């Protein structure tokens, strides 16, 4: 990634528009957003509010379903998943902030199926940074911003759920 980053709010506006178009294709009575903890959970909350969706989004915590969880370690505060609606037969939109290798989404699918078998599962992400290690692609996306392995985006959220995007400082070895 070279040059300046787009603003997170621009990316969000694009994702929101693309998602609202997709939501027209499914039955609103059986379609739900499910955010992946933690960044995707905030994003799903804001999308539900801005799109006037009449429910609280579900939240999945994939930490224990990751196939590489011993490498990434557990976050100090691990919140349980919360799915306050029927998954069986529903149309689910998984929401996450950043899509990288795809391992989090694979883990989220495992976790989701513990609750029941959805009629369909689609994926919405704010940023696709490339680097996939699994055959997973977003159905809707705020922006494709390729980033080399070893670099990271930092997405911050304020109290009003507005997002800011920066790049993690590059660690230089001397
Ligand atoms: O495609 P992957 O390689 O799995 O990477 C993408 C995941 O990594 C980040 O989550 P992180 O584990 O840093 O947790 P966070 O959402 O709490 O920041 C990001 O929010 C995605 O969930």
DSSP-derived secondary structure letter, 75: -
Residues 108-151 have pLDDT tens digits of 999 999 999 999 999 999 999 999 999 999 999 999 999 999 99
pLDDT (0 to 100) of residue 94: 98
Whether residue 6 has pLDDT greater than 70: yes
Fold observed for domain 8-23+30-69+78-169: Rossmann fold (3.40.50)
Helix (H, G, I), strand (E, B) or coil at 87: coil
Inter-helix orientation angle 8-23/39-50, to 10°: 60
Supply the residue whose CA is at minimum distance from atom 3 of ligand 1.
101
State yes or no: ipTM above 0.90. Answer: yes
Residue 22: helix, strand or coil by DSSP?
Answer: helix
pTM given for the model: 0.90
Look at residue 128 in the predicted model and tell me its pLDDT.
Answer: 98
Average pLDDT over residues 82-86: 94
Measured between alpha carbons, how far is 117 from 140 in angstroms, rounded to an integer? 22
Q: Which position has the higher pLDDT, 76 or 168?
A: 168
Is the peptide bond prior to 38 cis by the omega test (within 30 degrees of 0)? yes
Q: Does 86 score more than 90 pLDDT?
A: yes
Residue 103 near ligand 1, beta carbon < 6 Å: yes
> Scanning the structure block, which residue is given the tokens 């909350």?
45
In this predicted structure, the answer to whether residue 75 has a pLDDT above a threshold of 60 is no
Mean per-residue pLDDT over the chain, rounded:
90
Q: Where are the domains of the chain?
A: 8-23+30-69+78-169
With 70 as the cut, is the pLDDT of residue 72 above it? no
Q: Which helix (H) or strand (E) segment is 125 a member of?
A: strand 120-128
Mutate to test the pocket of ligand 1, among 39, 144, 157 (most ligand atoms within 8 A of CB): 39
CA distance to 11, 19, 35, 151, 158, per residue, from 113 (Å):
30, 23, 15, 32, 32
């Amino acid at each position: 990634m070279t040059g300046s980053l787009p603003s997170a709010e621009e990316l969000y506006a694009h994702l929101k528009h693309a998602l609202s178009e997709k939501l027209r294709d499914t039955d609103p009575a059986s379609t739900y957003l499910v955010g992946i903890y933690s960044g995707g959970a905030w994003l799903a909350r804001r999308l539900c509010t801005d799109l006037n969706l009449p429910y609280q989004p579900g939240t999945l915590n994939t930490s224990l379903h990751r196939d590489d969880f011993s490498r990434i370690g557990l976050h100090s505060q691990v919140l349980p998943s919360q799915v306050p609606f029927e998954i069986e037969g529903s149309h689910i939109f998984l929401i996450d902030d950043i899509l990288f290798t795809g391992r989090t989404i694979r883990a989220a699918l495992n976790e989701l199926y513990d609750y029941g078998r959805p009629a369909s599962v689609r994926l919405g992400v704010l940023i696709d940074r490339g680097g996939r290690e699994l055959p997973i692609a977003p159905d809707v996306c705020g922006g494709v911003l390729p980033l080399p392995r070893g670099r990271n985006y930092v997405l911050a959220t304020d109290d009003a759920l507005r997002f800011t995007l920066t790049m993690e400082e590059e660690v230089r070895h001397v």
